[in-house]
Amino acid sequence: MDIIQWFVAPLQYEFMVKAILVSALVGVVCSALSCYMTLKGWALMGDAVSHAVMPGVVIAYILNIPLAIGAFVFGVGSVIAIGFVKAKTRIKEDTVIGLVFTGFFALGLVLISKVKSEIDLTHILFGNVLGISNDDILQTVIISVITLATLAVLRKDLILFCFDSTHARSIGLNTTFLYYVLLSLLSLTAVAGLQTVGIILVVAMLVTPGATAYLLSDNFDHITLIAMASGVFSSVIGTYISYHIDGSTGGCIVVVQTLLFIIAMIFAPKHGLLARSTKN
Amino acid sequence: MNEISIDIEDVTVAYHGKVALESASLQLKTGTICGLIGMNGAGKSTLLKAIMGFVKPTKGRILINKLPIRQVQKNNLVAYVPQSEEVDWNFPVSVHDVVMMGRYGYMNLLRIPKFHDKNIVQESLERVEMWQMQDRQIGELSGGQKKRTFFARALAQESTVLLLDEPFAGVDIKTEKMMINLLMELRQKGYTILISTHDLASIKTFCDQVVLINRTILAYGNTADVFTEENLSRTFGGSIGDLSLAKNLLTQEDR
């Protein structure tokens, strides 16, 4: 097939143009945040929060308020719950995380199945970027602007917080504030990611680009740019592939992301498997 | 003037109901290098953390230059050099980035360094002979170079109270000598320096004060008066290995 045709043909449909633009935007935002998630060691937290927002999303649907608000409340709420159970019991953190997020997720499932609404469970679980509404696009844009602006302003403080929170505290930075900023951004982007790849795969958007970039550079700025580039690339190419093979969009996006990671893991100039094996 | 710099009064710290430090009192004057000596788990790190305001005492009060800890942090009065184990060495930051973090407390919200900040970072790096290495990612450094980088950050912070947690663990002789010389220079300038250390051998060479700690502060004061066999045996009581080591060191010094 003609390569130009491969890229141009889907653009005759408005829903495809929208889908490509939205998933590209979500790719940028999630990737920017993924650098902090990877370096802070918050992959499991990302998984927990993205699942825990589910009942919030359903309740927001029912109350007819923006999904982001419901997700935000339950995302942050789940982490507070995790912190509370960890502090008050003898149970280890990873157990508490697993316990809390599945509990929230299950509550979401029950709500969806019992409450009469227009919500389609598969759309929440696996995304529905091809059928995204204009309201949802607007919401994604707002979330993106908030997230990118916050990351831009607090960039240095957040890097310091991820790297050395002890020093951050010793120079009077409010690390509790930074913790909740990162957490709030995580909850918000989980909603944005939910539109494109769904709850189950959103953690990939929040982890994989950062991990890929981390193998390719030792400089935080470069890592951020590489992550964002790989995020956009995966989103756009993944959406195209899903069109041509008529397959799951979220699945295609994450498969492309994972392939990029595998390529980086093998061929990265310094931290790749090949470079490491020739060094030894 | 020799004013009180670190002022700890009857401080008790407990984690989850377990007391780590009980009724500790300590006053350190400015222009001092003080060695903090005790076994593992005796409360050295707890004391340092309490001074930094990272753990809240269940009882007692801590003042630095007569100010409570919030004010101390806002005014960049205390710098802390962490143990190497506490740092993520794979983090994508360079030597220069780390030392610049010492200046954040002086910068605006966006943390954009001014000319003055850059100057101080360069000066600090030059003092520990790390300026040539400024672009290295921190994981590529040797143990001594890692330590010097974080020491440079504390210098860049321009805090007159320095807390160092096991600064000589796993460093080369050159680094240890360089840091001791720098610490003695800073003492001349009126800095107050508190060092937790296992290295009893070097205490006498540069610490003018010592604090002996075992769940509480057993004794503190001039090294000549407090660093005695009797006090050390109270500090390391029961731990035969440490005790005989300490005895050896003391007798070697006396010869």
Q: What is the pLDDT of residues B208-243, one digit of tens each?
A: 999 999 989 988 999 888 888 888 888 887 554 555
The pLDDT of residue B240: 45
Judge: B53–A169 Cβ closer than 8 Å, yes or no. yes
Q: What is the pLDDT of residue B255?
A: 38
Residue A17: predicted pLDDT? 95
A159 in B contact zone (CB under 8 Å)? yes
List C-alpha distances in Å: A153 to A41, A200, B109: 22, 30, 8
Contact yes or no for B38/B168 (Cβ under 8 A): no
Residue contact B93–A217, C-beta within 8 A: no
User: Based on C-alpha coordinates, what's the Rg of chain B?
Assistant: 18
Give the minimum alpha-carbon distance from B238 to chain A in angstroms, rounded to a whole number. 31
pLDDT of residue A196: 83
Residue A123: other Cβ atoms inside 10 A: 17
CA distance A142 to chain B (A): 22
Residues of B in contact with A219 (CB under 8 A): 92, 94, 137
A271 vs B: CB within 8 A = no
Contact B111 A156 (CB under 8 A): yes
For residue B77, the chain A residue with the least C-alpha distance is A171
Q: Residue A217: which of B54, B92, B157 has the nearest Cβ?
A: B92
- Output the pLDDT for position B234: 83
Facing residue for B137 by CB, picked from A39, A162, A218: A218
Which uninterrupted H or E stretch holds B7?
strand B4-15
| Binary contact (B92, A169; C-beta < 8 A) | no
B22 CB burial (10 A radius; 0-12, 13-18, 19+): middle
Where along chain A do its domains lie? 15-279
Write down the ipTM of this complex: 0.89
Helix (H) or strand (E) holding A210: helix A208-216
Q: Identify the pLDDT of residue A140.
A: 92
How far apart are the C-alpha atoms of B35 and B227, rounded to whole Å?
10
The Cα-based distances of B28 to A54, A204, B210 in angstroms read: 55, 52, 10
The list of chain B residues with pLDDT below 50 reads 240, 253-255
Q: Do B104 and A173 touch (CB under 8 A)?
A: yes
Contacts of B91 in chain A (CB under 8 A): 39, 162-163
Find the length of chain B: 255
- State the nearest Cα–Cα gap between B118 and chain A, in angstroms: 16
Query: What is the C-alpha to C-alpha distance for residues A86 and B195, in angstroms, rounded to an integer?
Result: 33
Look at B82 and A164 and tell me if their CB atoms are within 8 Å. yes
Which residues have CB under 8 Å from A3's CB, separation 6+? none
| Domain A15-279 in CATH 1.10.3470.10 | yes
Predicted local confidence at residue B254, as pLDDT: 43
What is the number of CB-based contacts under 8 A between chain A and chain B? Answer: 67
pLDDT at site A225: 97
Element (H, E) at B192: strand B192-196
pLDDT < 50: residue spans in chain A: none
Which residues of chain A does B73 touch, with a Cβ-Cβ cutoff of 8 Å?
169-172
pLDDT single digits (tens) A130-180 = 989 898 899 999 999 999 999 999 999 999 999 999 999 999 899 999 999
Pairing of strands B209-213, B217-222: antiparallel
Task: List the single residue in A157, A160, A219 with the smallest CB-CB distance to B92.
Answer: A219
Structure token digits, residue B220: 């503190």
